[in-house]
Chains A and B, each alone.
Chain A
Amino acid sequence: MATLAPPVSGPAMPAARQAASPRREAWQRRLPLTPALIFMIIVTQIPFVFTVIFSFQSWNLVRPHSQHWVGLENYANVFTDSAFRDALLTEIGMTALAVAISMVLGIGLAVLLDRRFPGRGVVRTLLIAPFLIMPTVAGLLWKTTMLDPVYGIVNYLLRLCGAAPVDFVNQHPMASIVTVLVWQWTPFMMLIVLAGLQSQSNEVLEAAKVDGAGAWTTFRAITVPHLRPYIELGVLLGAIYLVNTFDVIYMMTQGGPGTATTNLPYYLYQRAFLGFDVGQASALGVVTVAGTILVASVALRMLFTVFATTERRA
């Protein structure tokens, strides 16, 4: 019997392995991803489910034992809340301004960097540096060393010109915040546009030259259309990140003066962690997430058409 065993199990084993293999293979692929997936669910999905649950409750931490179900009341409040509307408008304005200005500056710098000159590598590194600084640090840096009315560099320069000192953060809060965001995001836009410029065929530019186009005409008629997908990509990615701006506002203005620089993330933070109104803040959060998903899915679809066209071109 023992001698017979091997020949029997021999052919049987591979058959068994074959039957199990598609499943096994699938698990071999899933397994390394599972920890990340579980982690993602724990830190994002479970809190979100709780948030949805809280959003149907009236629950203020200041008044213990006041927690009770209120149905859609919190949501109704969101849409009648004028502070929410203001925050939304601030959010849109801030993001649009920062993205637009940093894109224009980024294109300008990229065009300058696209030509050879001694020290180009150093200049490029220096220009990228602001993007590598933590937003919190950037906010603090600008608030103190740059814009402080007493010892800030900008006011020092203004005084040299004979102008009166300006308390930028208090007198022009929106402009100050946007300046910092632009300072941080211009390098990002520059890098994307630079990649676009360097992917442009030199022969096309030469053809335009032979066809009689000057430098400006070539840029407008040939280079900008070529850069369009890159500009779209930069605007899109920039907007996705800038919509979530919190650190800079927290560091520089705390959403003020008044509500001048309160955007949605900061407003949410105020309701939840300064007002302790968990129910209302949860409803706000859910509405914001829904809105973001809506905008992001439209944006992502756009993003994929950008990739599709570059692929077709290649």
Chain B
Amino acid sequence: MAEVRYAEASRAYPGTPPVVAVDSLELTVADGEFLVLVGPSGSGKTTALRMLAGLEEVTSGHITIGGRDVTHVPPRDRDIAMVFQSYALYPHMTVAQNMGFALKLRGMPKETIAERVTEAARLLDLEKYLDRKPKALSGGQRQRVAMGRAIVREPSVFLMDEPLSNLDAKLRVETRANIAALQSRLGTTTVYVTHDQVEAMTMGHRVAVLKDAVLQQCDTPRTLYERPTNVFVAGFIGSPAMNLYTVPVDEHGARLGDLVVPVRRDAAAGLATVTVGVRPEALCLVGADEDGFKLAVELVEELGADAYVHGRARLADEEQRVVVRVDPRDPPAIGQTVRIGVRDHGEVHLFHPDSGERLHS
């Protein structure tokens, strides 16, 4: 149980110019919190996790675990447990030996090790496999062994590096829920890395979005979704992605083709254009006499509970792709031209056209 804090922590690789993998990361993970680091590949999320594990050097700044500065402490003295993407199980050891290895190294008596391993195995439904070698296990079972190896140590922080990326889709959803449940049951501070924003949103108490080595925003999934701090977060969080267009703005509002979205005067003061973000579910089909813009339907994705219409519209003198969520019981046909309006003007996000920062509206 511990609070984790990155204090202006950076990792730069020598070179000319030096390659910065994590740039002045300032982040606090509360005791017992499940924090997800998410971002596209190359964003520095894995490096940030490895810095916390002690596998990657911190070139400037500090990292503390439970108030103790661990910046230059070797991994084994940090009281952490890590689950690797490849699981990194010891191939020549049985499941029980894999799970008990760390305890054995600590010089714990055999009975205590066996007890703890059995307990963790029960928790993860691995009791039947304790005598098997990793190569005789399925992907999902290996993943659980990796989890078990972390659990038996009862560390103050769990670190997980994309632990679900080698599982098939169905198992991933199932394991996702299991990990989240396990974490809340154990109450151990957890830092979890993923590139999958759905995983981030469903598992994390808070989600930290990274891009190009810089932390963009760290907040609850709901806040990230409802108030993204910039264009990148807006486009990265949510599936299908938010529709983002840079369009002209005047005293009436921003012009999405024929549709005028009202903009508060002070928000867009002095700007000729503004980047408008509308999620697919904030758009809807409207009648001919209502405010809206025309959309040529190119594709309809029917997912059962929802249907998404993909199409092209002329916005700000440019052909743009638009995704709209519609009632799955009555989707438009491909090739048809429909009229699209905004469901609720409160759900329209405005960003600065150049910096991409959110405009306060």
Q: Chain A interface (Cβ within 8 Å of chain B)? A: 201, 203-204, 206-214, 217, 221-222, 225-226, 228, 312-313
Contacts and interface: CB of A to CB of B under 8 A. Distances in A.
Contacts of A208: 90, 101
Given A217-B105, A312-B135, A211 B86 contact: no
A228 B149 CA distance: 24
A199 to B, nearest CB: 11
Contact of B102 (A211, A222, A225, A313): A211
A151 to B, nearest CB: 50
Given A203-B85, A312-B135, A313-B135, A210 B90 contact: no
Given A207-B84, A221-B90, A313-B91, 19 more contacts: A203-B85, A203-B88, A204-B90, A206-B53, A207-B82, A208-B90, A209-B74, A209-B76, A210-B75, A211-B76, A211-B101, A211-B102, A212-B76, A213-B76, A214-B76, A221-B101, A225-B90, A228-B92, A313-B135
A226 B92 contact: yes
A204 B90 CA distance: 7
Nearest to A204: B88
B133 to A, nearest CB: 10
Nearest to A205: B88
Q: What's the interface size class on B, roughly?
A: 20 to 34
Contacts of B171: none
20 contacts: A201-B86, A201-B88, A204-B91, A206-B82, A207-B149, A208-B90, A208-B101, A209-B76, A210-B53, A210-B75, A210-B76, A210-B80, A210-B82, A211-B102, A211-B149, A213-B76, A213-B101, A214-B76, A217-B105, A313-B91
**Per DSSP, are chain A's interface residues mostly helix, strand or loop, or mixed?**
helix
A203 B76 CA distance: 15
Closest 3 CB pairs of A and B: A203-B88, A207-B88, A212-B76
Given A209-B55, A217-B105, A226 B91 contact: yes
B233 interface: no
Nearest to A309: B135
Nearest to A217: B105
B86 A222 contact: no
B81 interface: yes
A226 B153 CA distance: 24
A30 B68 CA distance: 73
Interface in B48-106: 53-55, 74-76, 80-82, 84-86, 88-92, 101-102, 105-106
Nearest to B161: A203
B81 A210 contact: yes
Contact of A210 (B55, B85, B89, B92): B55
Contacts of A214: 76
Most B-side CB within 10 Å, residue of A201, A211, A212, A221: A211
A188 to B, nearest CB: 25
Nearest to B78: A210
A209 to B, nearest CB: 5
Interface in B140-158: 149, 153
A28 to B, nearest CB: 40
A211 B102 CA distance: 5
Interface in B8-63: 53-55
A203 B80 CA distance: 16
B139 to A, nearest CB: 15
A212 B106 contact: yes
Contacts of B54: 209-210
Given A211-B101, A225-B92, A226-B92, A206 B84 contact: yes
Contacts of B75: 206, 209-210
Contacts of B102: 211-212
Contacts of A203: 84-86, 88
Given A207-B82, A209-B76, A313-B135, A222 B106 contact: no
Given A213-B105, A313-B135, A206 B88 contact: yes
